[in-house]
Structure 1
Amino acid sequence: MALYELAVLGTPTTTQAEELRGLVSKVVDSFGMTLGNEVGWSVCPDAFAPPSNLAAAAVFYGGVEALKQDVAPLLRGGVPILPVASELTRVREEIPEALRQLNCIAYGAAGAQRVAVALLECAGLLPKQRRVFVSYRRNESREVALQLFDELSARQFDVFLDTHDIRPAEDFQAMLWHRLCDSDVLVMLDTPGYFESRWTNAEFGRALAKGISVLRIGWPDQTPSPRTATASRVELLASDFQGSGRVSADAIERICLQLEMVRSQGYAVRNLNLVSKLRLAVETIGGAFVGVGPHKAVHVSLPDSRPLIVHPAVGVPTALTLHEATTHTPDSTSAVMYDPVGLHPEWQAHLDWLGGQIRTVRWMKVEEAAWRLADWEG
């Protein structure tokens, strides 16, 4: 069963499709997944309609025959599409009109490598995008937590574990919530005393409040709390445990497979939530939603018909987020939209200061989107 969905649309040459498959497959393999299995791969399908709860993206190779293809359903669904032309001077001759408002990629010298990176980024499949938070009680599941840290790190996840990632003298709880906000999945080790701890109890509740997916790893004979009814689950058996307090390789494989599924769904839902709120905001003030292009950039039209590019930031935005937005939209003003709930106060102050120094890209809090867009200065 596919956990992610990728598609090659338009009129790619056989060489282009095979080169792209090879590059994407190499990255996917490093995650312990297989292209065409856990990561769906469709080349010129009759229709590409990925489920809205899975991370998905498509690359569209332009050409004369490609001008006739209907991409409107994908644009309406918010699926990121990467239009690729042979040269930027050939966009009108090779790319359907509906896609011309999105930033197009020229195949050029970078060729398949550039297209592969952009496609993986849109699906959330770059290593830097794969973030998980391990929530556990040290006196009950420390060995398994440490084992998961090692195993998930080897599969190219950025794993937060409190014993590894918070330096001495830092504001422990503020940093804890900050890192939780930057995670795609909360991996909860559900031992008998999990909900008896103030901190694990709060980690679980705040993950739900932030819309972060939860993967419950249940200890043998541990009755699930009703609070975990919406969580995805992996049940451990007594036979899964070894004398060292760690679990078997088979149990690790079950956990990792389920985590990939939960992570894909959670990433897709959080991104879709941001895009949907932006769509509602711009339509509320009389503007229009155009579509999602390279780098997951959302193209909208303001009420006075001015185009604007908005970059939704799933998780915690950084100076790099601002830099990338500037690089991707060098010739126009754009915005980075994010959810500020749970961010470290000092980090929020840093973002406010940084936004005052750079005028080509502006921060925009998701709850203020309609208000800000109603009086947007170019």
Structure 2
Amino acid sequence: MALYELAVLGHPTDAQIQELQRLVAEVQTQFGFDAVEIALHICPDSFRPNRRSCAAALFIGGAAGAEVDITAVVDPKIVPVLPVVSSEKQVPVEVPPSLRAFNCIFLDQAPMGRVFSALLECLGLLPRQRRVFLSYRRAESTAVAVQLFAELSARQFDVFLDTHSISAGADFQEQLWHQLSDVDVLLMLDTPEYFKSRWTDAEYGRALAKGIGVLRVQWPDSTPSPVTSTASRAELLAEEFLADGQLSNEAVQRICRQLEAVRSQSHALRTMSLIESVRNAIEQIEGQVNGVGPGRLMQVTLRNGRQLSVQPTLGIPTAVTLQETLLRAGHDNCAVVYNHYGMMKSWQEHLEWLAQRVGGSRWIRQSDAAWDFAGWDAT
């Protein structure tokens, strides 16, 4: 099964298909993927990807695009669909009515490379979205941790390693949990003494609490802890260790391939869980979700008819998150929904300060979504 699934729907030209195939091949090389890790489906009769895969679709408009029943091919309430049209004035002709609520991408203003970048963002494949937390005991596995840090960075991952990623003078504990809250996967170097450190023990437990995927790299002389039974596993052999304490290249490549699979599944499941959480909150207060568009921006209607754009966000939201949400929405009735657990108190205060200065937009904690959406017009 492919880790990432893309579909091109509508009326793509041969030249557009060839360009997209070229861009996919470029990404495969950039990230060190095998050929099967990204599947590109061209005009399928049906696109119903497995929910454990990261998936997104392009709808490229054409002369009869407005007549296409897009819901017969894909469920836009589950899979983000990016409408692409030749120009703004052609939207009524080239785009099905069900997709017109989303901001379209206009080919007379944006090259196909920019369209493809928007597609990669939906898959969580932009380098800034590929975040990994390396959890290890310094006394047992520093050499391997540094080796994996270098290899994963070369594969376009943003890797958190405590000795490289926390500046001097920072509150170490608070920074640690903040960084952990911003990743897709915990890479756990399961050495014999791993769970005897309060830090690594808490890192593993809090990753589970946030729903973050875990890849456990098991040392040859380590007895697996019963608490790690749900984690994915990569076993190391004694002969894979070199004289300097590092791993053989073959072992490193195997770990990186497994990590990509765990990271992809974790990103897909956590994104779907967050979207479903927002959907349940909206339906709980008798509203409805109309669809999921570029950047997984959700278009919703509240019980009183109020139209909102809602951006579910994994990890730590920033001012850039809010800016991109406002630009995608095209109006100021929008909200960013996020999970606040583990975030630094100072960062939460920063978000509140920002909300007071950007009218019409709000930060909403996932746990408070139904309550806050129900009172949208009362505050």
- Normalising by the residue count of structure 2, what TM-score does the alignment of the two structures yield? 0.96
Match of 2:267 in 1: 267
Match of 1:94 in 2: 94
Does the 8 Å contact 1:75/1:290 carry over to 2? no
1:2 partner SS: coil
1:324 partner SS: helix
Larger mean Cα displacement after TM superposition, 325-334 or 299-308? 325-334
1:37 partner SS: coil
1:115-155: CA deviations, max 9, x gaps? 10110000101011000000000000000000000000000
| Structure 1 alignment gaps of length 5 or more | none
* Structure 1 residue 111, shift from structure 2 partner: 2.5
* Structure 1 residue 360, shift from structure 2 partner: 3.1
* Structure 1 residue 70, shift from structure 2 partner: 3.2
Equivalent residues in 2 for 1:1-378, closer than 5 Å: 1-34=1-34, 37-66=36-65, 67-71=67-71, 74-75=74-75, 78-377=78-377
* Structure 1 residue 72, shift from structure 2 partner: 5.6
* Structure 1 residue 84, shift from structure 2 partner: 0.9
Does the 8 Å contact 2:282/2:370 carry over to 1? yes
* Structure 1 residue 76, shift from structure 2 partner: 5.6
1:137-181: CA deviations, max 9, x gaps? 000000000000000000000000000011111100000000000
For 2:64 and 2:191, the matched residues in 1 are separated by: 58
* Structure 1 residue 218, shift from structure 2 partner: 0.4
For 1:291 and 1:371, the matched residues in 2 are separated by: 21
1:89-128: CA deviations, max 9, x gaps? 2222111222122222112132302210110000101011
For 1:306 and 1:62, the matched residues in 2 are separated by: 29
Does the 8 Å contact 1:181/1:315 carry over to 2? yes
1:190-216: CA deviations, max 9, x gaps? 000001111100000000001101000
For 1:349 and 1:329, the matched residues in 2 are separated by: 25
Does the 8 Å contact 2:64/2:93 carry over to 1? no
Q: CA RMSD in A?
A: 1.5
Which residue identity is paired with 1:52?
R
For 2:24 and 2:311, the matched residues in 1 are separated by: 24
Larger mean Cα displacement after TM superposition, 265-274 or 101-110? 101-110
Alpha carbons of structure 1 residues 15 and 76: separation in structure 2 relative to 1, 3 Å: closer
Which residue identity is paired with 2:303?
P
For 2:21 and 2:69, the matched residues in 1 are separated by: 22
For 1:353 and 1:156, the matched residues in 2 are separated by: 33
Which residue identity is paired with 1:87?
S
2:31 partner SS: coil
| Structure 2 alignment gaps of length 5 or more | none
Which residue identity is paired with 1:61?
I
Does the 8 Å contact 1:287/1:300 carry over to 2? yes
1:21-40: CA deviations, max 9, x gaps? 22233233211015x51111
For 2:77 and 2:143, the matched residues in 1 are separated by: 43
Does the 8 Å contact 1:189/1:217 carry over to 2? yes
Larger mean Cα displacement after TM superposition, 62-71 or 107-116? 62-71
* Structure 1 residue 77, shift from structure 2 partner: 5.3
Percent identity between the two aligned chains: 52
Does the 8 Å contact 2:77/2:289 carry over to 1? no
2:32 partner SS: coil
Which residue identity is paired with 1:341?
Y
Alpha carbons of structure 1 residues 314 and 31: separation in structure 2 relative to 1, 3 Å: same
Equivalent residues, number: 377
